[in-house]
């Protein structure tokens, strides 16, 4: 229910801010396309975070200003971006060595579904009419040390995205560490879900009612 999402809980910006608070000073971070990109705007002052984009740039800056876009300087979403002083360019195999080799500290991704064991489905709904596309999602969840998911708690038709078992094709199994939704922040630990923080106006009972998976209180 759309109205529910608006009245109760956090806005998308507040969700992004919650994620940003959990990214430590000095972290190397890869932000997925879409809502995860908002996280960069909320990193607290005094923390230095280096952004990695898997198409070959460490030290990604802000989105390019209109009129100064460079078609050869893009991010993983193919948006025109900038590079900060101290940035580095590299080829794709090196870029994914950073990912697969465990050198990137945090990756923030969107989700279709997250299971109570931390399985993630975010690349395909399994609809045979869709053109299948995976990009770097499977490499990221397999290689980055900490995977944060940022997502609305429920779908537009009010179905829970936090499920017992993903029904959509998996991106990775047991890969998610923490889920940030408009209702709560939930940790995945020992294949169980623990509610870390509730959004204003959200009770544990309300949260469980809107969640297919079993939740545990800290």
Partner 1 sequence: MINKIVSSAKEAVAGIFDGATVMISGFGEAGSPVELIHALVDQGAKDLTVVSNNAGSGHVGLAALIENRQVKKILCSFPRTAISVVFPELYRAGEIELVLVPQGTLAERIRAGGAGVPAFYTPATVNTPLAEGKEVREFNGRQYVMEEAIQADFALVKCAAADKYGNLIYNKTARNFGPVMCMAAKTTIVQAKQVVELGTIDPEHVVTPGIFVHRVVEISNPADESKLVAENEKYHGIRQ
User: Which residues sit at the interface with partner 1, rule CB under 8 A?
Assistant: 53-57, 70-75, 78, 83, 89-93, 95-96, 99-100, 124, 129-139, 142-143, 169-173
> Which token pair is 179?
């889920």
Nearest approach, Cβ of residue 99 and partner 1 (Å): 6
Residues 62, 67, 70, 76: is their CA dihedral positive or negative? positive
Of 82 and 154, CB closest to partner 1: 82
Active site includes 54? Answer: yes
Catalytic residue among 2, 14, 37, 54: 54
Of 123 and 183, CB closest to partner 1: 123
For 82, the enclosing helix (H) or strand (E) is: strand 81-89
CA dist., res. 201 & res. 70, Å (int) = 45
Of 31 and 207, CB closest to partner 1: 31
By the 8 A CB rule, do 194 and 187 touch?
A: yes
Of 57 and 202, CB closest to partner 1: 57
Instruction: Give the strand order in the sheet containing 106-109.
Output: 81-89, 57-63, 50-53, 28-31, 106-109, 146-150, 178-180, 184-189, 192-198, 215-217
Instruction: Give the strand order in the sheet containing 162-163.
Output: 120-121, 113-115, 162-163
Nearest approach, Cβ of residue 143 and partner 1 (Å): 7
**Which CA distances in Å does 151 have to 9, 47, 64, 86, 128?**
13, 24, 26, 32, 24
Catalytic residues, by residue number, are 54
């Amino acid at each position: 229910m759309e109205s529910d999402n608006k009245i109760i809980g956090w806005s998308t910006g507040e969700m992004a801010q919650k994620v940003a608070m959990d990214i430590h000073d000095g972290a190397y971070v890869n932000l997925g396309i879409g809502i995860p990109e908002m996280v960069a705007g909320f990193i607290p002052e005094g923390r230095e975070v280096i952004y990695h984009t898997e198409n070959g740039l460490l030290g990604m800056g802000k989105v390019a200003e209109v009129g100064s876009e460079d078609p050869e300087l893009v991010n993983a979403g193919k948006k025109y971006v900038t590079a900060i002083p101290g940035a580095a360019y590299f080829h794709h195999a090196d870029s994914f060595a950073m990912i697969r080799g465990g050198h990137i500290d945090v990756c923030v991704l969107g989700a279709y579904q997250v299971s109570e064991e931390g399985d993630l489905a975010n690349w395909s709904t399994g609809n045979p009419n869709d053109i299948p596309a995976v990009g770097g999602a499977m490499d990221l969840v397999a290689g980055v040390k900490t995977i944060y998911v940022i997502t609305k708690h429920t779908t537009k038709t009010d179905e829970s995205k936090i499920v017992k078992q993903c029904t959509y094709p998996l991106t990775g199994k047991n890969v998610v560490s923490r889920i940030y939704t408009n209702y709560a922040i939930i940790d995945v630990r020992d294949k169980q879900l623990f509610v870390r923080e509730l959004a204003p106006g959200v009770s544990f009972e309300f949260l469980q009612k809107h969640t297919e998976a079993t939740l545990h209180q800290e």
